[in-house]
Structure 1
Amino acid sequence: MSGGLIALLDDVAALARASAASIDDIGAAAGRASAKAAGVVVDDTAVTPQYVQDVDPQRELPIIWRIAKGSLFNKLVIILPIALLLSQFAPWALTPILMLGGTYLCFEGAEKIWGAISGHDSHIESVVETHEGQNESKGDGEDGGKSPEDKMVSGAIRTDLILSAEIMVISLNEVASEAFFNRLLILIVVAIAITALVYGAVAALIRMDDVGLKLAGKDSAGAQKFGRLLVAAMPKILQVISVVGTVAMLWVGGHIILVGLDELGWHPLYEFVHHAEEAAAHAVPFLSGAVAWVVNTFFSAVLGLIWGAVVVLVITAIKAMTGRKEGQMSTRHPGSTATGRHEAVPADHDPRH
């Protein structure tokens, strides 16, 4: 009797260890999958604050919360089932789909760089134009019953669908060899974790200037100075995030294209980058891993820029042939900036009122 009980307890302990190991494996795989989607995540974090630009500060966090819920719905209810079905029954389709997402990332990065060179921030202004255009053109149409905030949130969630699809497909590609149930759990973890990360970071970013304003109103001279510094720094911080997001998009998008071309049977580019990595690693053996990563990232970003520039040229040519004017951008509200809600913050004045 006692021998049977001990054997049973051993079996339970073994099952517990196996379950714990499986959970650890799922967490580790989710971490790897999330890391591969870094370019899209940074871009999402950089762009999302623009949705609450010129919005009543009391509505900022509720709007971000509504967009976050919509983003989670996109990932879990719309994208996840489609991605899992493809990976189970048509895994050959993942590489082309992934390359389409990579092409979109390269296009976005190249368009941002072209916007900076030409003096127009195409990505951000297109967001503003889209939402203002919806507010003006749909006032008496199909969305006539919606408030401007509802229309803006709906537009933001539709835009998020593209970014979320890229995140989920990139993540899925990293765990395609896992069992179906593990893939499901990993992607659920990735969806929840990335949504919380992106929109938590956005919520913190858009409230930083409010923290600064409160500090600027304190009696302490040090608190006032730090508060003014914090508010003045926020547009610059968002600009840095935007630049990092652009580079990350080109790197991730270019790497997806590089690997995808190799998997589809065209090897020269991948082999060239691989040989360059090996040569750099041999040249600096004590930092071989880091140097190889830098070389791969550099060539991936260059490829992403070239690939994206070609797409921008093609789209520009199509617009020119169809008679569409690229310069039709809506005007920003007075006092707003491309990277923040406030331009200047006097010590004794709240610029929102």
Structure 2
Amino acid sequence: MASSLLTLLDDIATVLDDVAVMTKLAARKSAGVLGDDLALNAQQVTGVRADRELPVVWAVAKGSARNKLILVPAALAISAWLPWLVTPLLMAGGLFLCYEGFEKVMHKLFHRAEDDAAKPGRTAALAGTEVDPVAFERDKIRGAVRTDMILSAEIIAITLGTVAGAAFLTQLGALAVISALMTVGVYGLVAGIVKLDDAGLALSRRTSALARGAGRTILRAAPWLMKGLAIAGTAAMFLVGGGIIAHGIHDLATWIQDTAAGLGALPTVGAVLGAITPTLINAVVGIVAGGLAVGAVQIFRHMRGPAAAAH
């Protein structure tokens, strides 16, 4: 009896250890999606009244949890009955990351003037009495939950690719843990980010000179933090998406490894070159793949007609 109990405990410890290792790997590979998830969800509450920001974040977090309750069983079913589909899904997720990143860059480069011109109109509309605040908030939540579904699917696909060869319990544990960590971590940070300006404003009104200085610093830094998150998220999308695509193409993955090993053997700078070469190549692969994907989508839209090409 004691021997059986010890064996069971040992098996449980082994599974938990495997889950921890797989979760670390999946979290590292999901870093690009996480950065983009943070930036996008923090931007989603823009325009919401200050006293409604946290309820909106909480509503989106609950929607994200529901998304993952759908995606995790679907991922396990694919792994059990259609394991050959894991790599194509992972490649599709990587390509989508690259596409989204490239489209963001192109939009910033060629449509910034249009966005700047539209900002006063959007602000006036939000301030106007013709806007139903309840409907506006509901639309914000729905849009954020839809965005979360895409990003959550990418995270689950990356995690599934990481644990595809593991036992069922390890797969289940890793998917459950990464889903919980990503949901709590992302929306906890989003809640903190969207309330930074409130914290800075409160500190700036304190009697202490140190507190006022800290508050003013936070108020100045908050917009730059948002911009930094957006830039880091976009860059990480190319790195992670390009890495997924490169890893899925055997010859390319082998060439990257051989190139990194060859450069790593060089004297003096070899260690640095060997370490950064895979990252740089993954970034190039991500940018090229994103450009090709955006070009293909634009061609398809033009073939459908002017109305589709305008979107």
**TM interval, short-chain normalised:** 0.7 to 0.9
Determine which of 252, 262, 272 is the counterpart of 2:255.
Answer: 272
Give the conservation status (yes or no) of the 8 Å contact 1:211–1:227.
Answer: yes
Q: Give ranges in structure 1 of 5+ residues lacking alignment.
A: 1-7, 124-138, 329-353
Give the conservation status (yes or no) of the 8 Å contact 1:105–1:250.
Answer: yes
Matched, 1:203 2:159: no
Determine which of 73, 76, 86 is the counterpart of 1:84.
Answer: 76
Identical amino acids, percent of aligned pairs: 35
Q: How many residues align?
A: 295
Give the conservation status (yes or no) of the 8 Å contact 1:37–1:170.
Answer: yes
Determine which of 169, 174, 179 is the counterpart of 1:181.
Answer: 169
Q: Write the distance in 1 (CA, Å) between the matches of 2:114 and 2:188.
A: 25
Q: Give ranges in structure 2 of 5+ residues lacking alignment.
A: 116-130
| Pair 1:70–1:187, CA change in 2 (3 A) | same
| Pair 1:211–1:121, CA change in 2 (3 A) | farther
| Pair 1:271–1:14, CA change in 2 (3 A) | closer
Matched, 1:103 2:95: yes
Matched, 1:120 2:108: no
| Pair 1:286–1:294, CA change in 2 (3 A) | closer
Given residue 26 of structure 1, which amino acid in structure 2 is its aligned partner?
V
Q: Write the distance in 1 (CA, Å) between the matches of 2:202 and 2:52.
A: 18
| Pair 1:226–1:30, CA change in 2 (3 A) | same
The aligned counterpart of 1:36 is 29
The aligned counterpart of 2:216 is 228
Cα deviation code 1:18-67 (max 9, x no counterpart):
32232122122112112111111110001111111111111111111111
Once superposed, what is the RMSD of the aligned Cα atoms? 2.5
The aligned counterpart of 2:284 is 302
TM-score by length of 2: 0.87
Query: How far did residue 118 of structure 1 move?
Result: 1.6
Larger helix fraction of residues: 2
Determine which of 156, 160, 175 is the counterpart of 2:148.
Answer: 160
Give the conservation status (yes or no) of the 8 Å contact 2:32–2:239.
Answer: yes
| Pair 1:13–1:270, CA change in 2 (3 A) | closer
The aligned counterpart of 2:122 is none
Query: How far did residue 197 of structure 1 move?
Result: 1.0
Give the conservation status (yes or no) of the 8 Å contact 2:23–2:178.
Answer: yes
| Pair 1:280–1:88, CA change in 2 (3 A) | same
Query: How far did residue 278 of structure 1 move?
Result: 0.5
The aligned counterpart of 1:66 is 59
Give the conservation status (yes or no) of the 8 Å contact 1:61–1:203.
Answer: yes
Cα deviation code 1:144-164 (max 9, x no counterpart):
9x7332222122111211111
Q: Write the distance in 1 (CA, Å) between the matches of 2:310 and 2:228.
A: 26
Q: Write the distance in 2 (CA, Å) between the matches of 1:184 and 1:200.
A: 24
Matched, 1:324 2:303: no
Given residue 112 of structure 1, which amino acid in structure 2 is its aligned partner?
K
Task: Report which of the two structures shows the higher radius of gyration computed on alpha carbons.
Answer: 1
